[in-house]
A = this chain, B = another copy of it.
Amino acid sequence: MKQFLEESKKISHEIASLSSAIKTKVLNEMADALLQHCDYIITHNDIDIKEAKKNNLSHDIVDRLLLTATRVESMSQAIKEIAALKEPVGRILDGWVTQDNLNIQKVSVPIGVVAIIYESRPNVTSDTAALCFKSGNVCVLKGGKEARHSNLAIANVLKEVLAKNKISTNAISLLPDSTREGVAKLIKENKYVDLIIPRGGAALIKYISENSSIPVIKHDKGLCHTFIDKDANHEKAIEIVLNAKCQRPGVCNAMETLLVHTDVAAYILPPLYEAFMNEGTELKGCDDTRKYINIQCCEHEDYDTEYLANKLNIKIVKNVDEAIFHINKYGSGHSEAILSENYSTVNKFLDIVDAACVYANASTRFTDGGSFGLGAEVGISTNKLHARGPMGINDLTTYKYKIYGNGQSRK
């Protein structure tokens, strides 16, 4: 493990220095190679699928695991899109001349060695490998063990393209020991690995955050709220909250708790109830809510739960301050929305709510790299530092200062 990571670190300087033209050429060749070797990939995916069925994994997991010709085509297309992204390395982020006449440039550079830990979907292997390569980083990938044959096949196809272009094939590699013990060792190798990105279950993320000596960018849960203010446009409000909950309930930017201003509860809760019933949403409410609509009682722990399902808590609050207080207490700092036509109320909410994305009059479902226009995304960070919210390819870079002098010494 140590030797493997040492090698990754060693070649990171080579990968960081690749020209934009080479990186783009190699990525386009990788996209083509995935199509050419589609059968090879699907054959290996088949082994994973058979094992998964044998092990009685859920239908949902088997579906996420499955690769078809269409899905391999999408993977190829995704790499082509990443190849076409604007070069993330070498952007001049800032620049100035100092009192000593030094010319300072703050320039984006690759992070170095990035380890990504994820679960069943094999397309994450090609997506993240391509994002890391485009941004000049060496990646160490640790996918779910249920997808290991698929991931190995995909990595082999990508590595072959690297070899053909005389680039160190370890620029893209799978963690050699993908057991729990392997991960435990990985997260202590801070001399060789610069960043760990865990995407996956809450337990895994907690374990890594608490035990890693390497900086971690978490892709943790989304416990998102929407607040219908007394000055909300009711028609828009109903449409937005339905979208935030029901358009795709199983994702991190879906709403888990709806907060309703007490002044409008009587008017808005009955039509909301009708609308949610049509969507088959399971509703729970606070005592005040249950005066207006006949739903289950919401317990304190429900406010703390990311349902990832078509379930919703409803709570009546007396004003925007109580809404903000509830959100800052229970929210996971992901995405929070206010629906209101009142200028000051909206500004207060956007200023004080502590989350990566705060929305006025729109669905929280827009929190992702694609909707934001960032291109292919690494994920959605719930960290506060370095990268917060949707992580685009630029977030896979850091910076250095280049300082141009002409003989200056310090006085």
Contacts and interface: CB of A to CB of B under 8 A. Distances in A.
A215 B210 CA distance: 10
B366 A102 contact: yes
Interface string A380-411: 00011110110000000011111111111110
A358 B13 contact: no
A100 interface: yes
Contacts of A373: 96, 98-99
How many copies of this chain does one complex carry? 2
Interface in A106-155: 109, 111-112
A358 B402 CA distance: 5
Interface of A: 13, 16-17, 96, 98-100, 102, 104, 109, 111-112, 188, 190, 194-195, 209-211, 213, 215-216, 233, 236, 239-240, 242-244, 247, 328, 350-352, 354-363, 365-366, 371-373, 383-386, 388-389, 398-410
Contacts of A359: 403, 405
A410 B161 CA distance: 38
B400 A362 contact: no
A406 B357 CA distance: 16
Name the residue among A102, A104, A244 with the largest chain B CB count within 10 angstroms. A102
Q: Which 3 A-B pairs have the closest CB atoms?
A: A362-B405, A243-B409, A365-B410
A390 to B, nearest CB: 8
B354 A13 contact: yes
A371 B112 contact: no
A409 B98 contact: no
A197 to B, nearest CB: 11
Contacts of A405: 359-363, 366
Contact of A98 (B233, B350, B371, B408): B371
Nearest to A17: B352
A213 to B, nearest CB: 4
Secondary structure call for the A interface: mixed
Nearest to A241: B409
A250 to B, nearest CB: 14
A398 B410 contact: no
B409 A356 contact: no
Contacts of A243: 409-410
A403 B358 CA distance: 6
Given A102-B362, A356-B400, A357-B403, 5 more contacts: A13-B328, A102-B366, A104-B372, A215-B216, A236-B407
A408 B240 CA distance: 7
A8 B237 CA distance: 35
Nearest to A109: B354
29 contacts: A13-B354, A17-B351, A98-B366, A98-B371, A98-B372, A100-B366, A102-B362, A111-B385, A194-B385, A210-B213, A211-B213, A239-B407, A240-B409, A358-B400, A359-B405, A360-B405, A361-B408, A362-B404, A362-B405, A362-B406, A362-B409, A363-B405, A363-B408, A363-B409, A366-B410, A385-B386, A388-B400, A388-B401, A389-B401
A406 B209 contact: no
Given A385-B215, A407-B240, A350 B402 contact: yes
Contacts of A384: 111-112, 194-195, 215, 398
B401 A358 contact: yes
Contacts of A366: 98, 100, 102, 403, 405, 408, 410
Contacts of A16: 352, 354
Given A362-B403, A373-B96, A239 B328 contact: no
Contacts of A99: 371, 373
A365 B17 contact: no
B356 A401 contact: yes
A399 to B, nearest CB: 6
Nearest to A216: B215
